[in-house]
Structure 1
Amino acid sequence: MNQLNVHRQTTSVPNGKSIDIYRPAAPSAPLPTVLLWHGIGPDEREVLRPLATAVAAAGVVVLVPDWRSDAPDGGRAHLLDSLAFCRERAESLGGDAQRITLAGWSAGAPAALGVALHPEVAEGWRPAAVVGLASRYDRPARTTGIPPLDDLAAGRLPTPVPVRLIHGTGDTEIGPEHSRTAAAALAAHDWPVLLEEITADHAGVLASEYDPALGRCRPSADAEVQAAGRLAAHSLAQAAGVVYGA
């Protein structure tokens, strides 16, 4: 992943949680904006650095906040506070506040889709798109407390937004069948959905590998893993509004 053309800064949201902001070094504002949520590991925004860097290099403002799944509310306030921060600050960061894509990896993915299914949790706000990476959607979303598949089965849904699901075919932690099930459920309700399966495991979609000694993912030097990460970054940037080949 090329980091030479990306500027990264760290700041805090009002609740004190850290948030990384990735921007092209010479942006042409306003740029599409992505709020990207990490998985269930508490305060693991650093895990998303390879993916966020690659997406930013494509011409996107990317915000990656810390949140804690072990908080009393399961992380709900941290996640929604970071969304409020993104909506308020996107324009000042060179992003387009009207084109915010909500994305998440692992436990962060149903949290993102949950907001699209329940706009009332964000004062009626709707994302321009949702991107879910390597996740399952039959467990309660950290933002709403309801499994997205249960919402879809109930059928009482808001206006659709585009959804893109990215999953590694070699993911043994959360198998790709979970994204296939979610894609089918979304399509059944006429939500525009695209499922992309890439050759990667659970961490590989981030251009990373799990390190047992660290107890978390770290950037991988493996060429195949890096290639998988580039595919995921390309797909996420495209979902956010980057036009390739123009």
Structure 2
Amino acid sequence: MTAEVVVRTGLTYGSGGKLLDVYRPAGASGPAPTVLLWHGRGPDERDVLAPVARATAERGAIVLVPDWRPDAADGGRTHLLDSAHFARRHADDLGGDPERIVLAGWSLGGKAAVGVALNPAAFDGWRPRAVVGIAGAYGTVAPSTGTAPLDDLRRSRGQAPPAPVWLVHGTADPVVDVERSRELRTALEKEHWPVSLDEVATDHAGVIMTEFVPERDRCLPSTAHHAVAAGTRTVLALAAAAGIRPARSATGSRG
């Protein structure tokens, strides 16, 4: 059963006046779990995540999708920090729960989200309740922390309790190979972090219910079967990470 969704677009956050959209289930009783969802490398592309954000809100989560610019001088770190501050300060005003914030991202945004979980000290000390990495690569520097998530994992032994990590990746992804998520899953399992990997039969765009349209140089919503099926699996992972009808336990892995 899905809920009707109310969308507020173009809210401003941060000192730079970046824009953010909020997807909220209508008629929710009590504070809902909150998902902060970061887009990928294209600057200011919050609209690309609209299909997944709406579908996740239909399952009962408040979803915040901010613009950010990876091409900024600091790689977008200030925008990412500002969006996290906004989520923590205003989740309750929007009907969400500031104590139940899931951090998620697609592509470069996925690397940024996982980076926060593995190196919160480099991100204002904040540790989200759970993290979802969608079609990300984790062996190089994350824009959120300035460090590589896999390197941070090796340095994190014995530190604060880990946040559960949920990974989703397309097996036909020509942009970021699925091996990048498999590599992270294996490394997390060795360190006894709760982790789940859902491999889906789609490409880099399909995993978020979109297709890349070269003439527009942009990912646009898709009704192709593979994209709808894979995007639905991504939504299930986001909902489960938020504690809404979990699709599976985050203590194991799926291939």
TM-score by length of 1: 0.95
Q: 2:208 aligns with which of 206, 209, 234?
A: 206
Q: 2:12 aligns to what?
A: 12
Give the CA deviation at 1:139.
Answer: 1.2
Q: How does the TM-score come out when normalised to structure 2? A: 0.91
In the other structure, the counterpart of 2:172 is: 170
Q: What are the ranges of 5 or more consecutive residues in structure 1 without an aligned counterpart? A: none
Q: In structure 2, which of residues 228, 231, 247 is the aligned counterpart of residue 229 of structure 1?
A: 231
Residues 31-80 of structure 1, C-alpha deviation per residue, up to 9 Å, x if partnerless?
A: 11000000010000000000000000000000000000110000000001
Deviations 1:152-195 (A, max 9, x none): 23344532110000001111111111000001111111110011
Task: State which of 182, 185, 201 in structure 1 corresponds to 2:184.
Answer: 182
Q: Is the 8 A contact 1:149 1:182 kept in 2?
A: yes
Equivalent position of 2:108 in the other structure: 107
Does the 8 Å contact 2:239/2:246 carry over to 1? no
Q: In the superposition, relative to structure 1, how do residues 185 and 73 fare at CA in structure 2: closer, same or farther (>3 Å)? A: same
Residue aligning to 1:85: 86
Tell me the distance in 1 between the aligned counterparts of 2:198 and 2:163: 17
1:2-45 deviation per Cα after TM superposition (whole angstroms, max 9, x unaligned)? 8x811111211033000000001221221110000000100000
Look up the match of 1:55. 56
Question: Which of 219, 222, 232 lines up with 1:220 in the alignment?
Answer: 222
Q: What is the CA-CA distance between 1:121 and the residue it aligns to?
A: 3.5
Deviates more, 1:218-227 or 1:197-206: 218-227
Give the paired residue count: 243
Secondary structure at the aligned position of 1:101 is classed as: strand
How far, CA to CA, are the matches of 2:219 and 2:125 in structure 1?
A: 34
1:134 and 1:162 map into 2 onto residues whose CA distance is 17
| Contact 2:36-2:104 at 8 Å conserved across structures | yes
Offset of 1:122 from its aligned partner? 4.0
Q: Which amino acid aligns with 1:85?
A: F
Matching residue of 1:33: 34
Structure 2: runs of 5+ lacking an equivalent: 248-255
What letter matches 2:12 in structure 1?
S
Identity %: 52
